[in-house]
Structure 1
Amino acid sequence: MSTDPLAWLTQLEGVSSAYAATRDGIDVMLRDRGLRRTSPETTAESLMRGAHASAVLEGSASELADLAEGRGDQVAQDALRLSAVLLSTAPALSTSPLQALARLHAVASATSLPEDQRGRPRDQASADRLRRVSELLLAPTEAPALLVAALVHADLATAAPFPSHNGIVARAVERLVLVARGVDAKSLVVPEAGHLALRPQYESNLRAYRDGGERGVHAWALYAAEAYAAGAEASPLRRSAG
């Protein structure tokens, strides 16, 4: 019997082929456009675009130009502040994921929560959920890294283990998994923008993940592969090539 916690999901209809196709598309984009064009500025633009999209999904009314000029509402500022520390957290996500998750929430909530609530779960059930997410991130698996990222995102977004900023943290961790596992080491794909472009599907599939059992998880997995393809299309590499 397999000890791979995600083996069951990779065997469901359409999952493996969807993620193989999405990963191929990301690899082609990064290879063809990234090698000569990549710069710290391109990564910074990708992170900013991701922060903006994540903030809008969380209810922000700020425009991308607001963030570029250092302005924007509180939600946008929180997302932007988190994006600034995101890549430095990648090593911890691979070795001490609970600490990484706590740090990300502490940064996102730095201006809105008392210090004793930053980076801390809401209750014991939330602490248990965070522990399970950590175990998933540490577990050996043959599942695609993109799929691991999708599941961690959905788990954090639907369980809401922190007192605030759960959606922003969930989408940040999703991006970070892609960095830490070598899918997108320079963080040039903008998965948050993919979710924003497919917002009705994003929100309905998160509900399915939360309430729909195995079928809901399956539906979320298939949706997320599509969203990552849209996130690749939103990369600054695509825009600079246009």
Structure 2
Amino acid sequence: MSSRTADPLAALGALPGVADSVEAVRTAVDRVYGHRVMRRRSNEVTSEAALRAARASAALAGADWALEEVRRRTDFGAEGEPRTVGAALRLTAEAGQLLSVWRQSPLRVLARLHLVAAGGAAPDDTVGRPRQAAEPVNEPLVTLALPDAQEMAGRLDGLARLLLAGGSAPALVKAAVVHGELLALRPFASHNGLVARAAERIVLIDSGLDPKSICPAEVGHAELGREAYVAALEGYASGTPEGMAAWIAHCGRAVELGVRESTAVCEALQRGAA
């Protein structure tokens, strides 16, 4: 019990199969960072990865637009799918600007992410703060039982304390736990999926695994599909070792697929095709 209290996230790293996922992700990330294009044009790769991440996160939230449509459009103020895509674009742009605050107060960053995502879409008194008792949550993709506001607040505070404590858990494990816990808790009245995926991005950057943010896990999550995403999340929410390990592996595979996407971007830039 004392070791769990000291570093419960590190204990997750010891679950069967997790070390293999961590190693596979590290190998894939190192490979794309070693691409010759990254020496001269990393900013272009970062920008393209952000665009593709936003498109993919919006797709998981129900706005599955083609990449060129996202690239071409500028009218993201309308209701429905345009607003969802706009929220995803704003979040990917914002994520990299919040690292210093994240290291001091993850809860402040989560509130900021919700504010950015909502963009005036929700009533003012629900934006940028965790939901209160009896307030509804609009998150149609996630059908897990919704924790009440008191449980949510306690678990959210516990997550923040774990992150601030640091510890030896691999970046993939931390990112997967942040992502999974936010989806399970759905702390805000809206946009929880978009916020959870943006928070995963921040952890991967902040941990040093993906400092230039060129490995868009969102792309992998979308490619693996909504059904697999929800099934893996149910495993996380079950709290069983098998379920937790399966969620971490799912997140690892998503990062690997994000790496594959950015490797293709690097190859296109090298050929002069993008």
Assess same fold via TM > 0.5: yes
CA distance in 2, matches of 1:223, 1:83: 21
From 9, 14, 18, give the equivalent of 2:12: 9
Instruction: Map 1:3-152; keep pairs closer than 5 Å.
Output: 3-33=6-36, 35-69=38-72, 70-71=74-75, 73-123=82-132, 124-152=150-178
* Contact 1:55-1:79 within 8 A present in 2 as well: yes
CA distance in 2, matches of 1:205, 1:216: 7
1:164 aligns with 2:190: yes
* Contact 1:191-1:231 within 8 A present in 2 as well: yes
CA distance in 2, matches of 1:11, 1:145: 13
Give a deviation string over 1:70-128, Cα, whole Å, max 9, x none: 24611111111122211101111112111111101111012211222111111233322
* Contact 2:114-2:191 within 8 A present in 1 as well: yes
Cα RMSD of the aligned pairs, angstroms, is 1.7
CA gap 1:13/1:25 in 2 versus in 1, 3 angstroms: same
1:189 aligns with 2:215: yes
* Contact 2:45-2:266 within 8 A present in 1 as well: no
CA distance in 2, matches of 1:140, 1:62: 38
Q: What stretches of structure 1 of length at least 5 have no aligned partner?
A: none
CA shift, 1:22, in A, is: 1.3
Matching residue's letter, 1:95:
Q
Give a deviation string over 1:13-42, Cα, whole Å, max 9, x none: 111122012112111211234532434332
CA shift, 1:208, in A, is: 1.6
Range with greater deviation from structure 2 (51-60 or 116-125): 116-125
1:232 aligns with 2:259: yes
In proportion to residue count, which structure has more helix?
Answer: 1
Moved over 6 A (4+): none
CA distance in 2, matches of 1:34, 1:126: 44
CA gap 1:34/1:6 in 2 versus in 1, 3 angstroms: farther
CA shift, 1:170, in A, is: 0.3
Give a deviation string over 1:47-75, Cα, whole Å, max 9, x none: 11101100000001332222212246111
CA shift, 1:215, in A, is: 2.4
Q: Name the structure 1 match of 2:271.
A: none
CA distance in 1, matches of 2:62, 2:51: 17
Larger-gyration structure (1/2): 2
* Contact 1:33-1:241 within 8 A present in 2 as well: no
1:198 aligns with 2:201: no
CA distance in 2, matches of 1:45, 1:120: 31
Q: Name the structure 1 match of 2:137.
A: none
CA distance in 2, matches of 1:140, 1:60: 35
Range with greater deviation from structure 2 (216-225 or 45-54): 216-225
- Matched residue pairs, number? 241
CA shift, 1:209, in A, is: 1.3
CA distance in 2, matches of 1:61, 1:28: 29
Give a deviation string over 1:173-215, Cα, whole Å, max 9, x none: 1011111111111111110000011113222101221235332
Give a deviation string over 1:116-169, Cα, whole Å, max 9, x none: 211111123332232122122212321111110011001101211111000000
* Contact 1:126-1:162 within 8 A present in 2 as well: no
